Amino acid sequence: MLVSVSRLLLASLAGLLLLTPAVAEDAARAAPPEAEMTSLFNGSDLSGWDGDPRLWSVRDGVIHGETTNENRANRNTFLIWKEGATKDFELRLSFRCNATNNSGIQYRSRHITEGKPANAWILRGYQHEIRNENNFPNISGFIYDEGGKRGRICLVGEKATWTADGKQVAEEKLIDAAGYKKLFRLNDWNDVIIIAKGNHIQHYMNGTLVLDFTDEHPEWALREGKLGLQLHAGKPMWAEYKNIRFREL
């Protein structure tokens, strides 16, 4: 009996040692350090946030953004967090949306107020794409350069670096199309973690690392800026957000 127990313990230890760094890190991220996090949404109103009052509200304890044929977004528009900035940080939240259009989580972004902006809530910078789709590559989680020159900066599954010479992608894949389809919850709530420290950015979806990006571009890399939630111009859509927690790193 003692021999059997010893063998079982040794087998378990061997299994732990075989965990890849990414899997081990995913396991660590599964339990949020809630005591260190600050809630950015009180569950009852949009205190601390600013956006088009025609489009943003609180419904059933969640932030609800919606465009309709009667209330359209004049260009992409954002609900902007007014109480702080995103520099080195960890952000956790849950989202859901419909499939008629896409949304996004904007961070390290600039609020466009000069000139004649199309609306009063325009942000430019890094965006964590939000979609209710699970077929590569049009899925939630990639980094989009909202208002910038680089488009889809880093795709889900990629471990990539962007320098003055362009983008380099490692051969290692963090997740493939089949894995993502199992991971993502269509028509339901999904959990996001965004971690940015210096020029290193990671996106997690439902506890799994799906993107690892290092921005070494001398002009386009972003180090600090606003946080916001997007409503996309075009076809009517809705997106909802809850459990928004933040901490500086």
State pLDDT tens for residues 100-117: 999 999 999 999 999 999
DSSP 107: E
Record the tokens describing residue 91, joined without a space.
Answer: 């952000």
User: In terms of residue numbers, what domain contains 13?
Assistant: 1-31
Same domain? For 89 and 152 the reply is yes
CA dist 51 to 73, 116, 119, 123, Å? 11, 17, 10, 11
Query: What per-residue confidence (pLDDT) applies to 230?
Result: 98
Record the tokens describing residue 200, joined without a space.
Answer: 């290193």
- Taking residues 179-199, report their average pLDDT: 98
Same domain? For 85 and 142 the reply is yes
DSSP 55: T
Answer whether 86's CB lies under 8 Å from 113's CB.
no
Query: What per-residue confidence (pLDDT) applies to 24?
Result: 44
Query: What per-residue confidence (pLDDT) applies to 148?
Result: 96
Is residue 18's pLDDT more than 80?
no
Number of domains in the chain: 2
User: Percent of the chain, pLDDT > 90?
Assistant: 85
| CA dist., res. 97 & res. 87, Å (int) | 27
Residue 69 exposure: Cα atoms within 13 Å on the Cβ side: 0
Give the CATH number, domain containing residue 157.
2.60.120.560
Strand order in the sheet with 122-130: 49-50, 77-81, 226-231, 103-112, 122-130, 143-146, 152-154
CA dihedral for 9, 13, 19, 25, sign (positive or negative): positive
Query: What per-residue confidence (pLDDT) applies to 35?
Result: 81
Answer whether 225's CB lies under 8 Å from 109's CB.
yes
Query: What per-residue confidence (pLDDT) applies to 37?
Result: 93
Same domain? For 194 and 110 the reply is yes
Record the tokens describing residue 102, joined without a space.
Answer: 């896409």
Q: What is the dihedral of CA 145, 146, 148, 149, to 10 degrees?
A: 50
| CA dist., res. 182 & res. 63, Å (int) | 26
Same domain? For 18 and 99 the reply is no
| pLDDT digits 0-9 by tens, 39-90 | 999 999 999 999 999 999 999 999 999 999 999 999 999 999 999 999 999 9
Query: What per-residue confidence (pLDDT) applies to 1?
Result: 45
Mean pLDDT, rounded, of the chain: 90
Place of tokens 């061997």: 14
Q: Which range (35-39, 67-71, 133-137) has the least confidence?
A: 35-39
Local confidence band at 155 (pLDDT 50, 70, 90 cut-offs): very high
Same domain? For 123 and 18 the reply is no
Same domain? For 11 and 63 the reply is no
Same domain? For 69 and 4 the reply is no
Same domain? For 16 and 114 the reply is no
Is residue 29's pLDDT more than 80?
no
Query: What per-residue confidence (pLDDT) applies to 26?
Result: 55
